[in-house]
Structure formats: C-alpha cells, structure tokens
Structure 1
C-alpha cells in the first residue's frame, strides 16, 4: 500500500483523498476475498506540518464498512529509523488483521516462537510436575520485533520500502 509520504515513488495527497482511494482498494479486496480469507493491512502514520495521525485509527472503520471482522492489531516494533526533532521518533508500524468471516484459520503451530522459560512446569495442584507451556513454543503475540530492511542489509533489494522476510513469512505461515 502507498505510504502517502511524498517519496520519489509516490505523490502525497490530502488525507481524505488518500483514504477514499484506499477505501476503493479495500472494498475490492473484500469482494474477492474467500469466505475463510484474511486480510493483513499494514499502515503507518499520516504526517503533515508536524502533526501525526496514526492511520490504523482511520482504517479500522473503513475495513469494518467493507464487511470485514477485526482479529488483531499487530505492532511491528523496530529499533532503528529516522530521528525526529520535535516529537518522539517513530519506531513502529501497525498491521491490521481482518477476516471475511468466523471460518478463518490461524496456523499457530507454524509460527510459534521460543518460550521465555523452556520446560517450565506446574509447581502445585493436580498438574504438579507437568509442563505448563507448549514445548513447541508460544504464541508470538501482537508485538513483533523485526529489524527493518535498510542499506547494507542482506535482504535489501531495489524496493524502497521493503519488509523483512521473517515478518512476511510469519503472516504467510499463519494462514
């Protein structure tokens, strides 16, 4: 999706025009999405004259108006990026996960991450001594820590806003 930041690969538009265009795209996405399908929509923020509007707030009702059901608001946190001078530096983007119906799938076993405490066991009760965690790993949760792809990164291609392969793989494998 275009970021609407006025970079060399796009022209910046007024927020209302940008949202109208994105609404048309999302309506078409919803129309062709399978009943069991999911839509992951990554959004950043609209910045104008020092003002910052988190776009997930604006996209939530748009996605719902397309008949989609909210499942998660995922925060992609990253350590590096541009440094702001008159506000806190932005170190996250938002990925909205919506589904077409309640018959969606989440393949949690394909995206598990390591447990903080491996082999943790119940210490009392009738399950004392049994594992209290899944030995295959835990649910990754809704805050994802992936580094961003910038110059000198081994994954870098010519795309100006490339996503880390691990982030994309998690989304694809979750389906």
Structure 2
C-alpha cells in the first residue's frame, strides 16, 4: 500500500452517511438526522480517501460563507489505522478548507485529548476544554475534548460564558 494508491474524492450524501455510521459505531453521538442538516449547510464540505474504490477514511471541512470554517467528523476505518492515512488526510482537508475560506478566516474544531498535540502541530490552539455528557436519567461522562482554533484568535471570555453548544460537526 503506497500513498499514491489512495484517491482523495469529494463525498456524496451516501459517503457522508457512511462516515456518520462509522462515528456511531465508534461511540460518537451523531444524531439520527444530523447528516441531513450537515449536508444542507455545505454539500461541498465532505472528503474521503478511497482505496480500491472503497471509502477508507473521511471527514468534514465546512465553510460558513467563506468566513468561518469547521473541521470535524474525522475518521479512519479501523483496518486502515496506524498507516499514516489519517495524518495525510487531515492535512489535505485542512489545506482544502483554508483555500475555501477568505484569507485569515478562523477555523474551529473539537480536539479529543489524545489528538490535541497533533492538531497543535497543524496550527491549532486550545481555546477552552469541555466534557461531553450524555443525559439518561442523570448526566454521564462520555469524553473530554477542547475547542481549538487556527487563524485569528477568537478565545471567548470564559467568565462571561454560561454554556456552549455547537452545531458545527465537531
């Protein structure tokens, strides 16, 4: 398996649905109908690597009016992990999103703890940390991540923030 064996392609709705299914299998919490909303927000914002015409990795690079971008839904099929595919795809997606935005536009993402050093090497800085909770009778810890930004600084005044909710595919 060589790098030239992987083909980067824009995903159609079926490809996005596959990423959402993979995310659910991993224990992420995409809503049942979220991918429809994601698609309507930016149908040009989903890319994946294909190997022998099969999707093996992908993610979202959403542009909001070319003024703000979000990277998310980044996932590699388990049988293709630890081969450098994710790293290559992540940088390609970041660079594609930068090209889709106005110069200097901010890009946000949620970075899980284990991947934060990697994302920092790619130009992202931690703005704040949060914990993902699932409520079923009482709040239950799922995982921790941090909101990270690349581009002009947008760190919020955390003393003035009551709560944060995101839609951006993080």
Q: TM-score, normalised by structure 2?
A: 0.40
Greater RCO, 1 or 2 (C-alpha within 8 Å, sep 6+): 1
Q: Which has the larger radius of gyration?
A: 1
Q: TM-score, normalised by structure 1?
A: 0.39
